[in-house]
Structure 1
Amino acid sequence: MDRGEDVVRQLYGRWRGPLHGYVLRMVGGDHQQAEEVVQETLLRAWRHAGDLTPADAGPWLHTVARNLVVSGFRKRGGHDPEAPVEPRRRPPVADAVEHALQGWQVVEALRSLGPDHRDAVVELYYRRRTVAEAAAVLGVPAGTVKSRCFYALRALRDALEERGVTRS
């Protein structure tokens, strides 16, 4: 067995489950689509086996998986898998490019937050955890999660207003 095969076997054993769970949330619970994304992610890992170590490959694998889901979203013209909004509440967007630009502005605004505030928002809104679950993951009391989220959302609103993104 060559090094590439060995690395991919280790990656599969270590990261398949976490990747599947991560992707499954992004694709709205579609197990088949999640499995396809995980398989494609691991195929790409095999192509980069010389650059990856199984212990440190998690961020790379998650980024590849997320990009595959997003690119699939763009090809199908569907909804953004990480930030679902009910269709009746979706702000009117002139076209898909404008929607993508707004998404990038939200990401940039998120990056402007401190890590504690950003983590609270990500856990609650992007990973769809309850306050209690987020508190357990972050290792802080539930009240702290609520407080951080409150101030983070206020800061996000201000940062987005500075960028010209307003509510419709």
Structure 2
Amino acid sequence: MTRHRQVADEALIRTLFAEHGRAMLAYATRLTGERAAAEDVVQEALIKAWRNPDVLVNGKGSVRGWLLTVVRNIITDKVRARNARPKEVAESPTAVPIERDHADKVVSSMVVLDALEKLPDVHRSVLVEIYVRGQNINETAETLGIPPGTVKSRSHYALRALRDMFSARETGMEGVA
């Protein structure tokens, strides 16, 4: 863009704002009900005028009429866009979202299942009964046919083995003897 064209465009916008800015702002404020929003709309309308200077000088209709139509169209587009989206609701401790992202849960369960597979059967079966099926020590002992003390010791060693696996994973030492 040449310097002469740039100066001419700037002069056009300044003239438009000087002649029609108050009317545009009053109209936009009446439609939006907010002064700040109206100022943004007027600015957008002036940018459209700057991008389409031929519309302003072609002699068809009034310039103010065109500018006010642009203001109305911008506001209409904003209202339609706002109504097309669901209303945003802030997340708070009392109003939890309807559906949380469950990706972390899926990954965690995959990691735990993988770790359980690496345990010896006697340890894995105890943890499955206690933590997956929700049985207590005595119920687990009865289900597996072993004494309650054995359930306690196997769960202790199984949890310790899992803890060691997870800490090795975190430090990057997994599989290192």
> Who wins on radius of gyration, i.e. which is larger?
2
TM-score by length of 1: 0.41
What is the TM-score when the length of structure 2 is the normalising length?
0.39
